[in-house]
Structure 1
């Protein structure tokens, strides 16, 4: 099936590892050129080279911190220089938090707000004019089931991801007259390197393996009884970017293995 993505230019934040890297490979397999943005410039270059080598597309690696205005502006400027603009933006950069509301300081709240919300605001504002010039585009926000069904130990993550969902809806309303489709994806349990790292730390010296810990989490929270692979969820992102999803606008999609306990 031709998804109509050949020679499109896709910007992926947090693109050097996990879900972002899997989305990069998925889009490149369809012929899209990929901009890998990540804080670690060397890792971004390694990922970009991997994508280019496997799929024969053009890539660009940018070592930037999208939690800063300067980092976002660098992406906007460098994409314009290298490709003449972007057609697709995947706001994927993010990370979990661990705190209580009574103990978390202001600067922690501010950091996650900048990373999860303001990065999307700044990149949407910066790249949308390029998309308009090019005839339209797609913006996808990697949100979380926690935006709707919060976990008790990460109130900052829950709150900022919920705000990102609302921003996504507002941006969709503003940009659809310009043929730019904006959607949000609320993922459930996905086996990223962060999950493996956390599970390894928590099981060290306990006699349990990290795989045992992961399975326990899946058994407790996901009716499907397993984590998704990054490649599984990446397939959904690639579809939403494609010509096969042209009536998908302003929506929030759950890809969660049945984890959501309510009807929305």
Structure 2
């Protein structure tokens, strides 16, 4: 289960319910807020001192005795969650698993910046990645390779201590040294969140000066330029344009200034609660 980026209010409703119903909770500790476990009856254990075999043994033992087990990770388990090695071992033991998503730190960082990562006409691509550290990167996924993806917004996890390398590889891959960068440390966490704005040219020096080395997300690309908020109309989507039709709304005739009318005998009531996409 994903516990979200650190703000206890950002856990999903389903996640909160499962914690209340649990008998045994194994948490990653670190950035999982302790407030999530206030008032629950489950046994709660911290796994940060355990290796993979000890983790799987605890989860399997609890499950085999009929206890309701919740494994809690920070952010969203699907993004750098290190859950596959646990899932595979549990399945090999005949123990089924299910995943409850959470808010990943890249999205919490974007919210802290009050920014949209996919601006029409600027970029429609977001990349979740990291720079190589103790865990190597596949050759085709180096930062230099990812830099070639136009104006895409790069969300770099686990890279705050390697900002010299990040800037060097992205510039070598074709990104301008003036590319906007936002560094968000402790995204969503009250009284701890910090936001640092810079460029690739100044990234390493600014991060060193701010003494940021961990628990920080790097967002790179023109979509995080703070001046975007001043550019009224420049990044408008087609979704709300008056001359754009979709199944919920007929386009206006902008050539004569008329307003659309619902044709007789046709129902434009939405068939679902989902909003249409931008295309």
User: Shared fold (TM-score greater than 0.5)?
Assistant: no
Scaled by the length of structure 2, what TM-score is found?
0.31
Scaled by the length of structure 1, what TM-score is found?
0.33
Which structure shows the higher helix fraction? 1
